[in-house]
DNA sequence: CGTGGTGTTGAAGGAAATCAAGCCCGGTGG
DNA sequence: CCACCGGGCTTGATTTCCTTCAACACCACG
């Protein structure tokens, strides 16, 4: 199970622990691109795990502007900490057709109570999400469009790799330029120019299906990306 | 205890629960302005609660640029979820002389195991932190300097009010313009001009000690601030 | 009475937004 | 079959916001 694998990356779990978490995951469901896992302004319906496909976490302002917080892939949890809020302050929308599962929250909380190690692992997962938000803040606040874009692409490559998504699909992002511009906080036109320049410099290439990374090393360099913030290796 | 009061705002706690949490808080300590609770690149030393004064959560890039994530006041937890990381990806620095306390993390985790309601409350606190980070992302990505500044000031006013900091001090922020510029992701010069314009419009006033809010309603309006994201009222 | 940190303001330059036009391509319908 | 349409991508020209550079005022402090 993707979530179990993700936690295992941080803290090797016993088989019993793996089974325990898995037992909180309800049967798989599917959703079409454009569907919502969480709707801004409405109550949380529960918490979920992404099993396949891409989603986006985004927030609309009253006047229609949109900010993309993050992209979600296999193994990412949705609304785990936030279910306690009475209504969602942002949305989570399926970007492609996705496979996901509901988590039985009560059961999970009970398991955490019985096994503190699982609690630690879940807290780690929440802290990881926070670290990614902080990285987006740094990108938006301090980095130029070019740096920020390079950083975001590298982040997605690294996350997909961690999630065990390998092969040709690794580098392809199902993200169009409008979406990307709302993630980087810049206009679509400027997004396009920035992409073109990265292509010209042979750092990435584009195709109708998305962006492909050509030179990871130089892309990481231009984005000042080091992956440390993903806390790849666990503490112990 | 400020942390207890904060959790209590979300989910009314029994006296036993209040005592339980308080029992995890070690004796008060003090730190001078400029000291560090968490140092970027070094291991977490533990987790803390702010009891008085102001701190700032910030991250430095390799080339010296700095981004401020957030300001911390009474009742805010530091490093609660993140202690599990092997090293900190950001710093928390005392902005004024502060009073704080260490949390006994193991004991707290054990209490959470024994009382799921406490776990829920702690998760809520973490989710609240996340919500504030998301709001900073929206501000940096979509709002103009003027909107963002108005929003940030209103956020700090609301948070201080929630933390029970009343009276004349409510509106005064011990934040200089350089710090503010690193929070808003703009240059110090532009920060100054933006402040001046807010003063000219009689939304705020400045004094050697900081910023004072003159017209909360119009300031909230120009910042598109609604406070919903602070999830003031608990779910039930 | 210098000295350094902070705030303020003007002028010039640059990064990104906006406005505008045209392209490619897949879908749809006459 | 082809005309038409719309969504996404691309590029040029102009404008706006913000940065950078520079100078100076203020004040706490040694």
- Smallest Cβ–Cβ distance between A229 and the set B89, B133, B228 belongs to B89
Q: Do B127 and A234 touch (CB under 8 A)?
A: no
Largest CA distance in chain B: 55
Note the CA–C1' distance, A25 to C15, in angstroms: 48
Q: Say how many C-beta atoms besides its own lie within 10 A of residue B227's C-beta.
A: 15
Distance from CA of B154 to the nearest CA of A (A): 17
Q: Say how many C-beta atoms besides its own lie within 10 A of residue A59's C-beta.
A: 22
Contacts of B59 in chain A (CB under 8 A): 134, 138
Contacts of A10 in chain B (CB under 8 A): 84
Tell me the per-residue pLDDT of A115-136, one tens digit each, with 9 for 90 and over.
888 888 888 899 999 999 999 9
- Smallest Cβ–Cβ distance between A89 and the set B116, B131, B141 belongs to B131
Return the pLDDT at A165: 84
Residue B142 contacts strand C, CB under 7 A: no
Q: CA A73 to CA A51: how far, in whole Å?
A: 7
Distance from CA of A228 to the nearest CA of B (A): 8
Contacts of B10 in chain A (CB under 8 A): 84
Return the pLDDT at A170: 56
CB pairs under 8 A between A and B: 148
Paired tokens of B214: 């003159």
Return the pLDDT at B116: 81
Q: B152-169 burial, b if ≥16 CB within 10 A, otherwise e?
A: bbbbbbbbbebbebeeee
DSSP string computed for B107-141: HHHHHHHH-HHHHHHHHHHHHHHHHHHHHHHHHHH
Tell me the per-residue pLDDT of A160-170, one tens digit each, with 9 for 90 and over.
988 888 765 55
Residue A236 has pLDDT above 50, yes or no: no
Q: CA A186 to CA A225: how far, in whole Å?
A: 20
Residue A235 has pLDDT above 50, yes or no: no
Helices B105-114 & B116-142 angle (0-180, nearest 10): 110
Residue B208 contacts strand D, CB under 7 A: yes
Tell me the per-residue pLDDT of A60-94, one tens digit each, with 9 for 90 and over.
999 889 999 999 999 999 988 888 888 999 999 99
Contacts of A109 in chain B (CB under 8 A): 116, 119-120
Q: Do A119 and B109 touch (CB under 8 A)?
A: yes
Return the pLDDT at A226: 85
- Smallest Cβ–Cβ distance between A137 and the set B69, B110, B113 belongs to B69
Return the pLDDT at B233: 52
Interface test with B, best of A89, A151, A221 (most B CBs within 10 A): A89
Q: Do B142 and A235 touch (CB under 8 A)?
A: no
Q: CA B173 to CA B150: how far, in whole Å?
A: 13
Paired tokens of B130: 């996340």
Contacts of A123 in chain B (CB under 8 A): 81, 84, 126
Q: A176-187 burial, b if ≥16 CB within 10 A, otherwise e?
A: eeebbbbbbbbe
Note the CA–C1' distance, A61 to D5, in angstroms: 31
Q: In chain A, what percentage of residues exceed pLDDT 70?
A: 95
Tell me the per-residue pLDDT of B35-72, one tens digit each, with 9 for 90 and over.
999 999 999 988 999 999 999 999 999 988 999 999 99
Return the pLDDT at A167: 64
Residue B206 contacts strand C, CB under 7 A: yes
Per-block mean pLDDT, blocks of 10 residues, chain B (236 long): 90 93 95 94 92 95 93 94 87 95 90 85 90 95 95 92 74 86 97 95 88 92 86 52
Return the pLDDT at B150: 95
Interface test with B, best of A137, A139, A222, A230 (most B CBs within 10 A): A137
Rounded to two decimals, the pTM is: 0.94
Tell me the per-residue pLDDT of A168-197, one tens digit each, with 9 for 90 and over.
555 677 899 999 999 999 999 999 999 999
């Amino acid at each position: 199970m993707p979530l179990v694998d993700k936690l295992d990356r941080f803290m090797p779990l016993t088989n019993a622990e793996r089974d325990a978490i898995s037992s909180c995951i309800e049967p798989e469901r599917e959703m079409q691109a454009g569907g919502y896992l969480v709707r801004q302004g409405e109550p949380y319906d529960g918490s979920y795990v992404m099993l396949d496909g891409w989603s986006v976490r985004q927030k609309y302002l009253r006047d229609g502007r949109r900010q993309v917080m993050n992209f979600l892939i296999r193994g990412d949890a949705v609304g785990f900490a936030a279910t306690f809020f009475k209504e969602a302050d942002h949305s989570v929308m399926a970007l492609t057709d996705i496979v996901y599962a509901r988590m039985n929250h009560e059961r999970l909380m009970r398991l955490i109570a019985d096994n503190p190690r699982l609690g630690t692992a879940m807290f780690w997962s929440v802290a990881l999400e926070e670290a990614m938000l902080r990285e987006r803040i740094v990108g938006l606040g301090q980095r130029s469009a070019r740096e920020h874009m390079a950083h975001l692409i590298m982040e997605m490559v690294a996350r997909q790799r961690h999630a065990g998504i390998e092969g040709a699909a690794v580098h392809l992002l199902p993200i169009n330029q409008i979406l990307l511009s709302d993630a980087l906080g810049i206009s679509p036109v400027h997004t396009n120019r920035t992409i073109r320049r990265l292509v010209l410099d042979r750092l990435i290439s584009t195709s109708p299906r998305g962006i492909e990374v050509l030179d990871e090393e130089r892309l990481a360099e231009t984005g000042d990306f080091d992956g440390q913030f993903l806390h790849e290796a666990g503490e112990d």
